[in-house]
Amino acid sequence: MGLGVTGASGPRKGGLDPASWQRAGAGGSVDKPFSVEESQGVNRSVGSAPATEAEKVSQTSQVKEVDSTKQTTTQTQKTIARPVSESDIVDLLVKFQKSPSPENKKILSTIIQFGLEASHENLDTVSRLVQSRGQSNAVESAVVSHLKGVSSSPKSVDILANFLSNQSQLGQVLDKMQLTLSRFQSNFQQFQVLLNPSLYSGLASIVSQMDDTLKKWMNTQSENLSITNLNRAGVIQDFRLFNDFLGGLIASLPANANPELARLLQQQTAMIKGQISQFLESVISQSIISKSSSVLPLGTDQFAYWQIPNPFSQQKKPIEILMQKDPQQKKRKFNPQKTKFILRFETEDIGELSVSVELSEKKIWYVFYTENTQTKDSILRTSPELKTRMAALNYEVVGMQLVPKKLDIKKLILPTINLDKISRVSAEV
């Protein structure tokens, strides 16, 4: 008996066949059973000698008896669908020769929830990643890491754990980094006696460029919210180089440097390096989440994910952006003519608001998600203006909908299966 989810993943070589498990209520089928002749090994040969009339009668009787048995068996065979139970998880663990401990049951259940094959290999990989990690979401983070194809880097589990616990907020990280850089610049001139002129000049130039970059990102001018901010590769590279440069700077300090100034420089560069690490982890976590799974079917993970600073919020909560990948493209590229993207943001005035925008050529459909009564009223009041503005850009608003609830972004970027809605299907006689 195998394990899997109909519609989430197909049978895979070397693992358990998913065909016997499916979502509750969904139609399904089981493998055709062996015929009675095949299962019981009935011999159709009666020898080389001609059969007598008595033997023919006997043979006919045997055939009728076999056909009768086959008919009875077919009639009594039942297809049974029942909810997945804890005992099913335990049975699989025993089959894998693993202890049915609470930890192993949680790992295997989470593997199934994320649509991965319940195989011995996946169980071993996730168990290895979870070891020595005390985060409450370590199992979930390990499964996502494996799902996204980055399980070879154990650090990815820690990065994802911070993201999933909402500790990786880009806006807050950038705000702290900008403050740390500003403090460093205010003390920078006194460090001149510690460094040779060319190194001092180079450091001053790099710090100034980084500070300008951060200020642009954190600027409250809405026109600075450019799509170029979504280019993660270049940003990661720039800050990694800056981080390495700071490390080399401290290593190059002369042995006879002023101890007090040297200690102050080391402290401040260490703070900057710490902020850079947090920033890189935030950006890398978004990059991991955006990766297309190498084990799930095309289109299962629909969205790429970004965070950008929210210039309209004093709380520094980021704007979250989801962009739908084109299911027709193997490399999960985006089709700008036919796509769907979602914005989620929160401000002190409007509360939490999510906007789903579906685009097909020059036609647009909007869905707004909010629980704030004033925000609902504002959307309804300004909807004619929105249609007018989009018409000026040659886009036709063909529909608008207002949904009075919050949109769970996590379920969109990391879809899971409710184990209570999975049935185990089997054929029994």
Contact 9, 116 (CB under 8 A): yes
* 59-67 CB contacts, 8 Å cutoff, 24+ apart: 66/36, 66/37, 66/42
How does DSSP classify residue 391? H
Asked if 247 and 358 sit in the same domain, the reply is no
Average pLDDT of the residues in 83-105: 89
Whether residue 15 has pLDDT greater than 50: no
Task: State what percent of residues in the chain have pLDDT above 70.
Answer: 71
pLDDT of residue 43: 35
Across the chain, mean pLDDT equals 76
Are 174 and 275 within one domain? yes
pLDDT, average across residues 59-83? 50
CB 384 within 8 A of CB 74: no
Instruction: For residues 102 and 5, state if they share a domain.
Output: yes
Residue 166, amino acid: N
- Same structural domain for residues 24 and 135? yes
Residue 381: the pLDDT is: 93
242 plus 339 within the same structural domain = no
Residue 384: inside a domain, yes or no? Answer: yes
Q: How far is CA 168 from CA 7, 134, 158, 282, 392, in A?
A: 32, 18, 11, 5, 38
In this prediction, residues 132-150 reach a mean pLDDT of 90
Residues 122 and 188 in one domain: no
Above 90 in pLDDT, residue 23? no
* Domain span at 216: 170-290
In a domain, 96, yes or no: yes
Q: For the chain, what percent of residues have pLDDT higher than 90?
A: 28
Q: Residue range 215-238: average pLDDT?
A: 62
pLDDT digit string (tens) for 258-303? 888 889 889 989 989 998 888 888 888 988 998 888 676 545 668 8
Q: Residue type at 383?
A: S
Residues 2 and 87 in one domain: yes
Number of domains present in the structure of the chain = 3
| Structure confidence by residue, pLDDT tens digits, 196-215 | 888 888 888 888 888 877 77
- Residue 346 placed within a domain: yes
Query: How far, in Å, CA of 32 to CA of 218, rounded?
Result: 63
The pLDDT score that the predictor gives to residue 57 is: 39
Assess if residue 298 is contained within a domain. no
pLDDT score, position 35 = 28
> Do residue 198 and residue 213 come from a single domain?
yes
> Both 344 and 360 in a single domain?
yes
Please give the pLDDT value at position 335. Answer: 79
Does a structural domain hold residue 54?
A: no
Average pLDDT rounded to a whole number, residues 63-84: 52
Is residue 224 located within the same domain as residue 338? no
pLDDT, one tens digit per residue, over 329-385 is: 655 577 778 889 999 999 888 899 999 999 998 999 999 999 999 999 999 999 999
Shared domain for 353 and 320, answered yes or no, is yes
CATH number for the domain that contains residue 373:
3.30.750
pTM above 0.85, yes or no: no
> Is the model's pLDDT at 228 over the cut of 90?
no
Say if 200 falls within a structural domain. yes
pLDDT score of 94 more than 90: yes
Q: What is the pLDDT of residue 24?
A: 40
Q: Residue 234: which residues within 8 A CB-CB, separation 6 or more? A: none
Cα–Cα distance measured from residue 163 to residue 281, given in angstroms and rounded to the nearest whole number: 9
pLDDT tens digits, 152-174: 888 999 999 988 887 657 777 88
Same domain, 286 and 387: no
The answer to whether residue 109 is domain-embedded is yes
For helices 86-95 and 102-113, angle between their N-to-C axes, nearest 10 degrees: 100
The residues, any chain, with a CB within 8 Å of residue 272's CB and separated by 6 or more, are 177, 180, 181, 184, 246
In a domain, 91, yes or no: yes
